[in-house]
Amino acid sequence: MIPPNRFRVSLRRRTAAGLLLAALAAPAPAAHDGERLYTRHCAACHGTDGHGGVGVPLALPDLLATVSDDYLRKTIRLGRPGRVMPAFHQLSDAEIGAIVTHVRGWAKTPPLPEPAVGRGDVARGAQKFATYCVGCHGANGEGGHGTGVTFSRPRDLPVLAPALNNPGFLAAASDAMIKATIMRGRQDTPMPNFLNWGLSEQDIDDIVAHVRAFEKRPRAKVAVVSAAEPQVLLRTSPYSVARTVERLRNAVAGANMSLIRAVPADEGLVDDKKENPARMIVDACDFRFLNKALAIDPRVGLLLPFRITVVEQQGKVLVMSVNPRRLTTLFNNSELNPICEQMYRIYNEILDEAVM
């Protein structure tokens, strides 16, 4: 029989050994998981090999030499509110770490040592910022325009100037990283080495202090949707389904849209001649508007072309479409907000005219 004390020790040892075994057996993402996770969560925007697309290129030697793993981790976790890059709340720390390891694998050299950052003067930094940085990063650090760029469309540059006032950027970037970027620049992007432009380290410390002061300014606008915003724009028509569809045809023409089709909603799903004429769809598009929207964000095809559904239900004829204002947040693209707002207004006008 084991004495009680020895039993407790034995139990503790076994428990410890069990925990150790469990920890070893736990599915912590291995290095190779980084590639799988990157492919699943990042490659759609940043490209399979990190050469960019909807998102910025990541396989830039100067980028990887300048940014820390902590910067990459926080960027993935927090995203860039209103600047397309979403926040990956659903990934564990270990999964984010595996992705960072995978991205880091594209670096040909280890990260360079971070420069020491001295005390900067915000006011002097503002002056230097106005001279050297505003042209690309905007007067308030709001960044370059043209989010959602894609290689499927003409583009002047592979990257956008980052929004330095973005809360996601400010939370992720250390002062040393900002300083290193200004000092060294980024090859293959428009960001020059500002030491070569004659700035001193003190000048750069001043600029860093100015950029850090963006934290105290009003935040960048992002899509904010009221919880009360309906998911569907809905009207009740006083007309029959056929008459409502006819009125919709006229309404979309009046809004300078091209009618694409007005057909039963189940056409193509059910066999020919078995479609339900009490459920119709009307598809319409303003291709100039669509072209403009796609240039801002190629994912906007989730909302366009404009589709109106007409349904007869218990003696009522309902006319409806998705609510672009409700869906704005999906894209995390503040440049798209005015487009969605315009869509919201036009859709409502068309629905109103059809049931008037």
Binders of other proteins in range 77-96 (CB under 8 A)? 78-83, 85-90
Interface residue with other proteins, options 68, 127, 140, 150 (CB under 8 A): 150
Which residue number, 14 or 221, has a Cβ lying nearer to other proteins? 221
Question: Alpha-carbon Rg of the chain, whole angstroms?
Answer: 27
Element of type H or E holding 234: strand 232-237
Which residue number, 90 or 109, has a Cβ lying nearer to other proteins? 90
Give SS3 for 198. Answer: coil
Interface residue with other proteins, options 118, 144, 158, 298 (CB under 8 A): 298
Residue 1 engages other proteins in binding (rule: CB under 8 A): no
CA-wise closest residue to 130 among 213, 210, 216, 205 = 210
Retrieve residue 43's tokens.
Answer: 């490659």
CA-wise closest residue to 319 among 329, 306, 328, 330 = 306
CB of 117 to other proteins, least distance (A): 15
Rounded Cα–Cα distance for residues 42 and 301 (Å): 20
Residues 100-139 that bind other proteins (CB under 8 A): none
CB of 234 to other proteins, least distance (A): 7
Residues 161-180 that bind other proteins (CB under 8 A): 167-168, 170-171
Instruction: Tell me the sheet residues that pair with 311.
Output: 279, 318
Which residue number, 121 or 275, has a Cβ lying nearer to other proteins? 275
Amino acid letter for position 330: L
Which residue number, 41 or 128, has a Cβ lying nearer to other proteins? 41
Residues 4-63 that bind other proteins (CB under 8 A): 39-41, 43-45, 47-48, 53-54
Rounded Cα–Cα distance for residues 320 and 313 (Å): 13
**If you write DSSP's letter for every residue of 277-331 in order, what string do you get?**
TTEEEEEEE-HHHHHHHHHH-GGGGGT-SEEEEEEEETTEEEEEEE-HHHHGGGG
Residue 355 engages other proteins in binding (rule: CB under 8 A): no
- Site stretch for other proteins (CB under 8 A), options 1-9, 15-23, 75-83, 94-102: 75-83
Which residue number, 111 or 298, has a Cβ lying nearer to other proteins? 298
Residue 237 engages other proteins in binding (rule: CB under 8 A): no
